[in-house]
Structure 1
Amino acid sequence: MFDNQTPRRPVECISDLLKYDPVLRITSQQCLVHNYLRECLPENLPYMLPEPELHAQQLSIPQDSHAVNETPS
């Protein structure tokens, strides 16, 4: 599937993710600590959270949005 010049570690990671048997397949947590990803990421990469205001705006649902499906009384 990959040519001989493809680095071994990414192929191993992808192969482990695509295993058919769930017992043999790596989890997302295991993938995140896989040697391939660990060697590619900078050690001090900051974790960025969304800004609270922007996140709150995306989650807000207008009060009138439920009125569309209600029948009049």
Structure 2
Amino acid sequence: MIQTKGIKSGEYGFSSTQYTDLPASAPKWGYVKYFQHADNYVTVWVFPDGFTGGILLNQFILGQNQWNTTWKKLELSETS
């Protein structure tokens, strides 16, 4: 979205379609948030529905066609 439409930040849901950049173990539905930093890094947060294990996080640099890091999983804990 940033590279093709110039949108600096945004969010969208996906359903019944594999978000192609996700690890193979992630489900085919969920929610994506992304934002561009001042130094041309883009951070992507993926909230897969029904995915036990938390939130997925990755970054890339504008103009490069690959991820800058590998996917990281942020564990969630419940509080009561």
> Which bin holds the TM-score, normalised by the shorter protein?
under 0.3
| Higher Rg of the two aligned structures | 1
TM-score, normalised on structure 2? 0.21
Higher helix residue share: 1
Higher relative contact order (CA 8 A, sep 6+): 2
TM-score, normalised on structure 1? 0.22
